[in-house]
Structure 1
Amino acid sequence: MNIAVIFAGGTGQRMNTKTLPKQFLELHGKPIIIYTLEHFQGHSQIDGIVLVCVEGWLDHCRRLVEKYHITKVKAIVPGGETGQGSIWNGLHKAAELFPQDSVVLIHDGVRPLIDEEIITKDIECVQKNGSAITVSPAIETIALRQDNGEVGEIVERSRCQLAKAPQCFYLNEIMAAHQKAQNERRSDFIDSASLMRHYGHTLFTVEGPVENIKITTPSDFYLFRALLDARENSQIFG
């Protein structure tokens, strides 16, 4: 089976919104989280979704899932104190509902500009290689920072990729890595890729589009609106 754990646990402090967490902000009358969920709902190879929701907003999530007929959502669980903890909550629920050898796609609820092709390639990469980290090419020069304010090493752009999401593994393997982190009282891993690499797993990449952005700031939201409108216009006008 292929399942998705969608992380919508952030509070959106960098979005400067005083009312809604960023994943519930609307564009054209539809919340960002629904744009994201619809990609997995509509994909023929996705069998189920576990949604991890920010504490205090679970009922709101349930209403949205019902309103927009996201029928593949099989559970909605609260987030943890950290991003790593929230993903663990989602994985733990997924392990209760689905076979241990399922492919799990871990994705940000505020990364709505993925598409069917990325999801398909990620599943195929896990089945072939055991992991799939969605990346995009670096399009600007990368310079390492030094403590004294000087520019450090300039890294050749062709060697650089931006790690994004989905980040995909076999459910039993990512669960085992999270359990090791808990046993070691580690809660500082920035994402699933860094956690899995730390515990000895070889990671393989799937290249996705540059526009697979995470909506974190107001400028990200405006960029999302422009990109979404451009996609819709291209479908209408060719």
Structure 2
Amino acid sequence: MITAVIIAGGSGKRMGQNIPKQFITINDKPIIIYTLESFENHPLIDEVLVVVKQGWEETLLSYLEKYQLSKVNHVIAGGDTGQQSINHAVQFLKPISNPDDIIVIHDGIRPLVDDFVLSDVIVKAQTYGNAVSSLPYNEQIFIKDTDDTTSKYIDRNTLRRVMTPQAYHFEQLSNSYDEAIAKNIGMSDSSYTNTMMADLGHTLNFAAGSEKNIKLTTPDDLELFKAFLKMKE
């Protein structure tokens, strides 16, 4: 079984909107629906669980019916942070998932996940136990000496940009969240599954990424998303 967990519990304050950013409509369609359609249409995905901001469950359910997204079998409320929302999903899946099931975790506000990216992260996870989508880092990274000066840099060939989708065998995922909570490791506001895994000492495997797989955080990102949609048309 391959289950996609879509994290859509954020509030989106940086968007300057009065609704969660995943529910902002672009070309008369909510952002979250663009994301879910990528998983609905991918042949390797068996089912989808959406972790949504508390109080927005019914809104999402109405959209699922409108856009006929049949793979979404579960809609649950999220937590105060992204990590808490992912953990909610992991705990929810415990009674219904097998150790070797693949769980694909993806941000609901990354609506342009390509088929080849999703396929590669799944195949790598099936082979190695986990995988994280990634890209080379093409900019130069300098380390601050003071707020205004620098004399040291990091070789960009040693860096990778990591994003969602990420995929894990359920047994590793479940055990890791239980350990992280028990030891209070990797569960901060800025943590995610991949950083938690690294904090716990796990080795992660890189999978393919895409420059189109943008995270919609600011109004400028929405304009970029509209441009990608226009190119696709």
With structure 1 as the length reference, what TM-score do the two structures score? 0.92
Change (3 A) 1:159 1:55: same
Letter paired with 1:157: R
> 2:92 maps to which residue?
93
Letter paired with 1:220: D
> 2:225 maps to which residue?
224
> 1:131 maps to which residue?
130
Change (3 A) 1:96 1:68: farther
> C-alpha displacement at 1:152, in angstroms?
4.9
Retained in 2: the 8 A contact 1:107–1:166?
Answer: yes
Change (3 A) 1:147 1:54: farther
> 1:235 maps to which residue?
none
Structure 1 vs Structure 2 CA RMSD:
1.4
Q: Deviations over 1:96-120 (max 9, x none)?
A: 3332321111000000111111111
With structure 2 as the length reference, what TM-score do the two structures score? 0.94
> 1:31 maps to which residue?
30
Q: Deviations over 1:75-101 (max 9, x none)?
A: 101011221110011122223333232
User: Can you give the 5+ residue segments of structure 1 that lack an aligned partner in the other structure?
Assistant: 233-238
Change (3 A) 1:210 1:153: farther
Identical columns (%): 35
> 1:236 maps to which residue?
none
* Large movers: runs of 4+ above 6 Å: none
Q: Equivalents in 1 of 2:31, 2:87: separation in Å? A: 23
Q: Equivalents in 1 of 2:191, 2:6: separation in Å? A: 16
Retained in 2: the 8 A contact 1:50–1:93?
Answer: no
> 1:190 maps to which residue?
191
Q: Equivalents in 1 of 2:69, 2:145: separation in Å? A: 47
> C-alpha displacement at 1:202, in angstroms?
1.0
Q: 1:1-238 alignment to 2 at 5 Å?
A: 1-18=1-18, 20-186=19-185, 187-188=187-188, 190-232=191-233
Matched positions, count: 231
Q: Deviations over 1:29-85 (max 9, x none)?
A: 111101101111111111111100001111111111111111111110101122111
